[in-house]
Amino acid sequence: MSRLPLSLIVVLVLAASGCGDSDDSTQAAQTAAAPKAEAPAPKPAKAATASQYAGPDIAGLYLGMSPDEVKAVLSAYDPAMRVQESSQFFEYSALGKRYKTERFLVLTQGQMPGGSVVLSAGYTFPPEAPRVVAITRTHRQTSEPLTQADYAKALIEKYGTPVEDVKNDRAGAQAERILKWKLPGSGNIDCVHSASIGNGVLDRFVKDGRKMAVETVTPAYAAQCNGVFEYTLRGEPVTQANGTLFDVRALAKSEFETQAWVQQQVAEKSKTGTQAPKL
């Protein structure tokens, strides 16, 4: 059974369309037109409240949230915040014919006027209902910026003492400070260097510092992955702060399940017949 190369998925942030192509193997892509459904839609999510979620949050966004919960949090963050969503679909081939799944949500993003704050939440893939597996926050301080010391103090008060706190010892705009925390419940192997929110993760895996081929990543290895929980402060004073929460294991698990789901669609559309041809 071939593996669905989810690395071919390209998500355009805040856009509901994109472009892509495929060959006669199982593939995933975006397109500009909404296709006719050829595969079942994701299962509906159950309602929940933010109080049900444990672990750290970024601006009230928690890992595991549903899209509706994310939109509610973003809307409550500030009435001026503009909230948009991005979707895509999987494209695959069977017996030389192309098929497309229904569109599914991959990203919800809220942006303050001028881009001073951008909050994004990325989701798991079908066939299960979408749940948040990645959260990012970009904060641009264009007036009266905080020093790195004051910004870091606020982060430590919220999240506790980081497991890593590294400065590059430069001054001015070149100064950078990276604070990292252990994501509760995650594994102990650093499988990725960073998050690519709204995209797959299996094509970003590394081992012993070297990029892994997608086909060599196994569910057993992915289950040991550490999550990404960090903040990068740039400039002194800080002109931009980037925060990330990323459940690597959850997204990898979702990708493996998606591969099996799409492969099932291929198998169903590749069934052989039994009736003899009229010769």
pLDDT of residue 50: 53
pLDDT of residue 57: 97
pLDDT of residue 51: 62
In a domain? residue 209? yes
Q: How many Å apart are CA 257 and CA 114, to the nearest integer?
A: 39
pLDDT of residue 26: 36
In a domain? residue 260? yes
pLDDT of residue 52: 82
In a domain? residue 52? no
In a domain? residue 176? yes
In a domain? residue 273? no
pTM metric for this prediction: 0.82
- Count of structural domains within the chain: 1
For residue 178, the enclosing domain spans 6-45+60-268
pLDDT of residue 142: 87
In a domain? residue 279? no
In a domain? residue 274? no
Question: Tens-of-pLDDT digits for all 279 residues of the chain?
Answer: 444 444 333 333 333 333 333 333 333 433 333 333 344 444 444 444 556 888 999 999 999 999 999 999 999 999 999 999 999 999 999 999 999 999 999 999 999 999 999 999 999 999 999 999 999 999 999 899 999 999 999 999 999 999 999 999 899 999 999 999 999 999 999 999 877 888 999 999 999 889 999 999 999 999 999 999 999 999 999 999 999 999 999 999 999 999 999 999 999 999 888 889 899
In a domain? residue 277? no
